[in-house]
Amino acid sequence: MTGPHGWGYGQDDGPSEWYKSYPVAQGNRQSPIDIVSAKAVYDPGLKPLNISYESCTSLNISNNGHSVMVEFEDADDKTAISGGPFENPFRLKQFHFHWGTKPSQGSEHTVDGKPFPSELHLVHWNARKYATFGEAAAAPDGLAVIGVFLEVRIAKIKIKLSFFFQGTKAQFRSFNPKCLLPLSLDYWTYPGSLTTPPLNESVTWIVLKESVKISEKQLEKFRTLLFTSEEDQRIQMVNNFRPPQPLRGRVVRASFKA
């Protein structure tokens, strides 16, 4: 069964099939990757990451058929990241999650071969250089995504999920995603791509080293969501992650000394 997007995470439309419609899936800077910590190169020139999410402008939360997504108003640079490997500030557009059926899988990036139960992606775009998110998403330096690993522990993250079906959306105002970040902003960075079709190679990835705790109960809530809309047979939304892609000569840089 193919989802409304023509792609999904099932047997017939999952990551191993995406290249048929999106040939860039076999490109040289695809994401996610396995981060081999011993091979990451410490780069003292990398600036600390500056995250200003204070005047937060969240709009809505939705089940878009392949994840839970929270969208933000992105008319100005108030909710943005800067520093790190970037020349310009990048504006927050949305964040979403990837997760598995069980705690031993779910994240897209892995560290030394180890997956985490879930991964949060905060998607930002280069509004100084590009006029629209769409234009930025097609450019090699257009997007910046922060990846945060979620580990199952007694948690501080609580997100209310009450929209089970694909296509459902609810207002979700004044949510500050800062509460989803770990204390340490030590990061790895590398040039990569979107991890869902169209898989554009437009992303500078910032993967935070420190994970954030999420409760098993919260993770179970994610698993109650559905890939399908109300009229369709229910298909549980789980394992919505792409496996690690070949590095193809890319170097992962670290903002910290190992």
Give the gyration radius of the chain's Cα atoms: 17
Beta-carbon contacts of residue 246 (< 8 Å; ≥ 6 apart): 30
Residue 121 appears among annotated catalytic residues: no
Which of 66, 96, 98, 124 is the catalytic position? Answer: 66
In angstroms, how far is the first alpha carbon of the chain from the final one? 45
Distance CA 195, CA 32 (A): 6
Distance CA 224, CA 182 (A): 26
List the Cα angle 76/82/83 in 5-degree steps: 160
**Are 145 and 205 within 8 A, CB to CB?**
yes
Handedness of CA 17, 22, 25, 27 (dihedral sign): positive
Please provide residue 146's backbone torsions phi and psi, each rounded to the nearest 5 degrees: -95, 125
Distance CA 62, CA 67 (A): 8
Written as six digits, the tokens of 126 are 């280069």
The residues annotated as belonging to the active site are 66
